[in-house]
Structures are given as structure tokens and as C-alpha cells.
Structure 1
Amino acid sequence: MMSTTVDGVRICPTTGNQYYTPIVPDSSKPVVGMHFQSIDSAFNFYKKYAKLSGFEGRKHTQSSKNGVVIRKYFVCAKEGSATSCAVDTVNDSVGADKKLNDRRRRPSKRTGCKAHIRLALTPKNTYRISHVFEEHNHSFVDEEDYHLLASSRKLTFTEEQLLSDFSEMNIGPVRAFNLMRKIRGGFDKVGVTSTDCKNFKRDINLFIGEFDVDMAVQRLMKKKQFLPNFSCEFYCDEKGALAGLFWADEEMKLNYEVFGDVMSFDATFRTNRYDLVFVPFTGIDNHHHNVTFAGSLLASETAESYKWLLQSFLKAFGVAPKVVVTDQDAATKIAIRDVFPDTRHRLCMWHIMIKVSEKVGTELSQDEVFKDDICDVVWTDALEPAQFETQWCDLMIKYNLTSNSWLSDMYNLRSDWIPAYYRHEHMSGLMRTTSRSESENHFFWSINQHKIVIS
């Protein structure tokens, strides 16, 4: 019983296995007797033949004599079978065995394909095809999917530069690939896949390695050198690690000049990778929108680090704000007192008022009338200080809170957070809490998370 071949497909009569022979023009087929000047030129020919056929080719074994290759094999990429090694997942030993434990499990793409050609060195130092075996034990890639073959996928210098530029604009490799696909009119017109773009970004990150902080600082310092109205300051700890970074550009300084009477800063955002606290300086413009006056990164939230930060701010802007709003952090209080002695330090009202419910007991915390009464006294700026003090005392007596130690402490700090004591400070009524800074922190956090997801 003999096998028959139809359209390049042969079915073995004994096993029923299918074997595939490429259907390509004769001028592109490897034929016994063909000569090439070098192994590389022969391999280029084989790769073109493989691409036209719909499979991948790769170099295989060779034989050498006196350092000269006398025999070389080119095979289908699905030749052979994946080598496997036993990995003891129970063993947690370090070193070489640990690398085996961490190895990713990937399905093998090899099928034991026997298709190959063999080159032999001739007396004239050229290479001649001495043997050809064309049958594959797997089907080929369809013509419309040729662009997905590894031999067809390669990032050009222009595409690499484009991906790098997109990355600087917080556009990840997947979104960058989709943009290139839209511009060029289809997946097959890009020449690569989204995975290739992600691998390129990964390789760039590996190349940068531990020098990314140095690159960021150098870039900001170069801006300071060439942009006369750009400010940047940094300092390192005793180990040489970045301890503080501050920057402000021309637009930030213009905003501060117009809207800088009242400012807040809050350190609630911490990056996972570098463990640096992000501290934006935030104000409000004439449309009641947030404006950023400066940005900074700190390795620690100590009084000394905040002093350095405020000194950098004062160096960049030349004048301190009239009012600064922060939470009840002791380190910021010390820094503001020492660096901004003429600035009024205002405590965040929200951070104080959110604690009222837990400090007055369960019954009052659920009493809506009490909540309305205390808010009417605390939040309004229509009262003079003397009026506030009278109404506060009446409120404490009415609800039997005169012995509440926490409320007494907050009353002693009344000039640091009650609007009645700030009613004559220009624009102070616009900013009573650090919620503006917290929303800015959340905004920058969202950008960072979005970048991670699309990268």
C-alpha cells in the first residue's frame, strides 16, 4: 500500500501521520548541488525559503577540522524535542539549584520534525548542498500570518526610537503598538507584535538596571543647566543613596506667583519600588482647580528632611507662602516653624473632625443634631474668634463634653485650625484641609498605576 501526495500533503498508509512539503517556486527551493560562498549566505537563502514556506529555520550541528567548518546542518525550528530536567520543587536550596526552581514552565513547540539541509565544504572553500529533506511533520503558517514568524519580526531603529519616545510620555509598549498599528493600517504592517514591544521595553529596563535614579537626577540637573527658570535640588545619605529630590519648572513658579498665598503639602503616596515619599506642593487657581507649585521625593519623613525640602522650596521661589496647610505631623510642624517663621501653619480640619465621632462616644457620634451643631461652629468663617470661643463653650456644656480631654486639646489648638482665626488671611478660606494634596497624590498614583498596567 503506497502513500499519495496531494497539494504537498502526504499521508503515511501505515501510521496515518501527515507530512507536509513546502510549495514554493523552484528558484527558491534548496537543491542538492547548489553552491554558496559562506555559511551565512547559505543560511540567508534557507531563511527566505522557510519564510515563503511558512516555517522557521535555524542553524543546527556542524563538524569542523582544524578550526574550519566542513559540514553544517540547517533544520526546521520544530526539529527535536524539548529537553527536560527534574526540578525538586520541595528543595529550597540557593545557588544553581535555586535557579532551576524558579524556571518558568513553557510548553514545547518542537515536534521532532526531520526537515533539514546539509552543507559540505568543497575543495574551492565554498559550501555545497549535499542533502535535502523537505518533509515536515507539522502544518505551515498561513500566508496572511507570515508576519508573525520570528524571522519576519524585527524592530527597526525608527520603531525602537518611537517606543522610547512613547515611554517618556508614559505610553506603555502595548498602547504604543496599538498606535503604530492604527497609523500603518493593520497588524501585518507593523512588522512586530505587542510582545516584541514589551520585550524591547524589558531589555531597556534591564540595560538601565540600577542607574535609573542617576539618570533621573542627571536629566533634571541638565534641565537646570539649560533652562534658566528651572530649579532642582537633591541630596544623598551617608551611603550615597538618594535621600531627597526637589524640582519646579517655570510654569509652576508662575502659578505660585499668582496663587501662592495658601499652599498645602501632604506625603501620603509611597512608591513600591523605591520606597520614596512623593510630596507635591499644591495650591488653588482662580477656577478653584488644583495647581502644582513643585514636586519632591523624600526617603524619610523626619524634621531634618522636611527642613531640607522647605529650604529648597524657599531657594527656588524666593518667598514663603502666607499660610501652609498640613496634617498634624510633628516633623512638618518643626520644619515650618524653623524655615518659614513668618508663615502661619494651619492644621487640616478634616483630619481633626474625622476623629470627633470616635472621641465623643457612640451615642453622640450617631446624633445628627450634634453633628450639625458642631459643624456650624467649627467650619464657618463668619464668626470672630471671641464669638467662636463663646459658642464652643456653650456647645460643650450643652452636650456635657467639658471633661473630654481630646476636645479640650483641640480647643487649645484652635488658632491652628479653626477658620475664625484665619478669616483675615487672604484666600485662606479656599483651603482648610489637605484634601487638595491628597487628590493630587491620587492623581499621580493613578498615572503611575496606568503606566504599569499598559507596560
Structure 2
Amino acid sequence: MVRFVTDEDGYWHVKRFIESHNHELASPADRHLLRSCRNVIEEKASVLKSMTNAGIRTVDAYAYLAEEVGGCENVGFSKRDAYNLIQKEKRARIEIGDTNSLIQLFKDRQVEDHMFAWDVQYDDQDRLLNFFWVDGRSRIDYECFGDVLIFDTSYRLNKYNFVCAPFVGVNNHWQNILFGLLFCQKKQLKVLHGCLKYLYE
């Protein structure tokens, strides 16, 4: 333990030093594991992103960087840091156009399955309030086994503060079957009745 004080002229002086409280510093071979020594510099981050965008696995991209600089201890960051960087990039790409991607997915599904139905609602600022989908198989199952309909809103909220609320029933083998799925904000559960029309039509 070391304690410093500054004098009137601004010079630092050691006021107290207890050597027995000290411990050996990390060896050069282990220094790259310390958080204070880890930093993903822009050049290496760019290489990682380029390689993973080209379809190379993150672990192989990191191995390439390690080989270029003579080992993992010289890369400047850990393999976990590399994974975190790539995951952060992927999430950022998805979140930029997540609503558009969702709607495009629904449109593609509708082309493949003519019974596929979906609906979305936006607020006055064009933010997604809720969305619902039901596919052809679910509509047929509902026609056959729709005597009892369970609407379960007990699932946890996701990062968008949406609750997952599936419409579930039971078939003739006592197996759970999915009739449709609603994602909405907790306060928007009133849209339940509007979603049921897609099962009845």
C-alpha cells in the first residue's frame, strides 16, 4: 500500500508505504489477461469485422491475429473480447432495421403460405407498438382443436419491453399446439380481441 500527499508547491511525496501489502505484478505472459491491459484497437477490430463478414468464424479470425503478432499475449485483447465485439456489431446491424426486417419476413412468409396472416400497429411516432402472426398450419389446427384457447402472458419482457403472448390450444393427443403469437407492450394487451379475427376468418 502506498499513500501520497502533495505539498504547497504541488510536488508529490510518499507519506506511507507498506511493502508487506504488495504482491508480485502479473508476469508478461499473463499481462494480456488484465482488464487494464486489454484494448481492441481500431485496426485489429477492422480486421476482425472484415474476416467475420466474409464468413470466417470469430475463433479463426482471432487465431489469425494471434499468429500475426506472435501469440495471444501480443494481440492486446482476449478471445472473449473478440466475440463481444462481433456480437455487438451484429446486434447493431439488426437493430438499425429490425422493424423493416420483421415486416419483410412476414411478407416473405405470406408468399410461401397463402394462409399466413399478420398485423402490426405503430404509435404516432412510427414506433412499433405490437405485432401478431398466424400461419396456415395454426389456422387449420384452430379449426380442428379451437374449443379451448389459452392466452398466456406470463413470459418475461424482452429488450424492447414487449411481452410474448402465444395463443395455445391442445390437440387430440393432449399436445400443446400454437394457434398464433402476439408481441406487444404490457399496456397494449387490449389488442388481443383484434388478433382473434385472424383465427376466425
Q: TM-score, normalised by structure 2?
A: 0.58
* Residue identity in the other structure for 2:196: F
The structure that has the greater radius of gyration is 1
Which secondary structure state, in structure 1, belongs to the residue aligned with residue 129 of structure 2? Answer: strand
- Structure 2 match to 1:318: 200
- Determine whether 1:250 maps to 2:133: no
Aligned partner (choices 96, 99, 116) of residue 213 of structure 1: 99
1:303-362 per-residue CA deviation (whole Å, 9 max, x = no partner) reads xx52x3322331x2235xxxxxxxxxxxxxxxxxxxxxxxxxxxxxxxxxxxxxxxxxxx
- 1:107-118 equivalences under 5 Å are 107=37
- Give the superposition deviation at 1:107: 1.8
- Give the superposition deviation at 1:265: 0.3
Question: CA 1:264–1:209 in structure 2 vs 1: closer, same or farther (change >3 Å)?
Answer: closer
Question: CA 1:263–1:197 in structure 2 vs 1: closer, same or farther (change >3 Å)?
Answer: same
- Structure 1 match to 2:36: 106
Which secondary structure state, in structure 2, belongs to the residue aligned with residue 301 of structure 1? Answer: helix
RMSD of aligned Cα (Å): 3.4
Count of aligned pairs between the two proteins: 145
What is the CA–CA distance in structure 2 between the aligned matches of 1:227 and 1:255, rounded to whole Å?
15
Structure 1 unaligned residues grouped into runs of 5+? 1-77, 79-103, 110-149, 161-172, 178-189, 320-455
Aligned partner (choices 157, 168, 172) of residue 286 of structure 1: 172
1:169-197 per-residue CA deviation (whole Å, 9 max, x = no partner) reads xxxx8xxx7xxxxxxxxxxxx55466445
Q: Percent identity?
A: 21
- Give the superposition deviation at 1:225: 4.1
Aligned partner (choices 99, 108, 118) of residue 222 of structure 1: 108
- Give the superposition deviation at 1:204: 1.7
1:391-437 per-residue CA deviation (whole Å, 9 max, x = no partner) reads xxxxxxxxxxxxxxxxxxxxxxxxxxxxxxxxxxxxxxxxxxxxxxx
Structure 2 unaligned residues grouped into runs of 5+? 1-27, 29-33, 40-46, 64-78
1:198-223 per-residue CA deviation (whole Å, 9 max, x = no partner) reads 53232121233443233223322332
- Structure 2 match to 1:274: 160
Question: CA 1:156–1:225 in structure 2 vs 1: closer, same or farther (change >3 Å)?
Answer: closer
What is the CA–CA distance in structure 1 between the aligned matches of 2:171 and 2:184, rounded to whole Å?
26
Q: TM-score, normalised by structure 1?
A: 0.28
**Does the 8 A contact of 1:283 with 1:291 survive in 2?**
yes
What is the CA–CA distance in structure 1 between the aligned matches of 2:151 and 2:167, rounded to whole Å?
5
Which secondary structure state, in structure 1, belongs to the residue aligned with residue 55 of structure 2? Answer: helix
Which secondary structure state, in structure 2, belongs to the residue aligned with residue 279 of structure 1? Answer: strand
**Does the 8 A contact of 1:246 with 1:309 survive in 2?**
no
What is the CA–CA distance in structure 1 between the aligned matches of 2:90 and 2:159, rounded to whole Å?
17
What is the CA–CA distance in structure 2 between the aligned matches of 1:108 and 1:278, rounded to whole Å?
39
1:22-47 per-residue CA deviation (whole Å, 9 max, x = no partner) reads xxxxxxxxxxxxxxxxxxxxxxxxxx
